[in-house]
Amino acid sequence: MEPSQRLEVASEISTGMAVGAHRKAARMKSIDAECCIVGGGPAGLTAAIFLARFRRRFVLIDAGESRAAWIPRTHNHPAFPDGINGDVLLDRMREQLAHFGAARQSGLVAGVRRKPEAGLVVEMENATVEARFLVMATGVTDRLALPPERPCFCAATRPTSC
C-alpha cells in the first residue's frame, strides 16, 4: 500500500466514514442557492417563475410526477377561464421558466436537515442543495383504497375509483 493510500484510509477511519461513503460523497455535487423548491407541479413552477423574474438563485427539484399531468382539463388555474389540459399547463409553465434561463433539477429528495448555522441542506441521490429557504410544493398523492368487492375502472392508463 502506498503511503498516500494509508493516509486516506487512516483519515477515513478517524472520521468514522466508510470508504464507499467517502467516495460517494466526493462524487456528489453541491449546489448553493438562496431557495430550494421541492416539487415541479404548478405550485413549484409558479414559485420558480417568480424567483426567476426577481433574479434569485434557486434550485427547482422535480421528480416528474405532477398530478396536474393527469388532468384532462383543469379549471383550477388563473388566466384560463375555459380550463386547460394539465400537460399543456405544465409545458407552458416550464417554457416560461426556461425563458428566464432557469432550469429544473430532476430527481427525488432523500432528506432535509438544518445546518448548524442558518439554512438547510436538501439531500438528493447525486447532489446536495444548500439554501437559506425551502418551498415544499409536493402536491397531493392519490391513494386508491377500494374494497375487493368494488371493481376499479381504468380510463386510459389512469386508475380512478367510482
Sign of CA pseudo-dihedral 68, 71, 75, 76: negative
Average pLDDT over all residues of the chain:
80
Name the residue with higher pLDDT: 77 or 110. Answer: 110
The more confident residue out of 138 and 16 is 138
Q: What's the average model confidence in pLDDT over 27-49?
A: 93
The 10 Å Cβ neighbour count of residue 152 is 10
Task: Report whether pLDDT(34) > 50.
Answer: yes
Contacts of 43 (CB under 8 A, 6+ apart): 137, 139
Across residues 109-124, what is the average pLDDT? 94
- The alpha carbons of the chain give a radius of gyration, in whole angstroms, of 21
Using the predicted structure, report yes or no on whether residue 13 has a pLDDT greater than 50: no
pTM of the model: 0.72
The upper half-sphere exposure of residue 36, i.e. CA atoms within 13 Å in the direction of its Cβ, equals 26
Each as own residue / partner, the long-range contacts of residues 105-111 (CB below 8 Å, 24 or more positions apart, any chain) are: 105/31, 105/59, 105/60, 105/61, 105/62, 105/129, 106/61, 106/62, 106/63, 106/64, 107/61, 107/62, 107/63, 108/61, 108/63, 109/38, 109/61
pLDDT in tens, 51-109: 999 999 999 999 999 999 999 999 988 899 999 999 999 999 999 999 999 988 999 99
User: Above pLDDT 90, what percent of the chain?
Assistant: 60
Residue 7 has pLDDT above 60, yes or no: no
d(Cα 103, Cα 113) in Å, to the nearest integer?
24
Q: What is the pLDDT of residue 153?
A: 52
Nearest to 137 by CA among 50, 30, 69, 36: 36
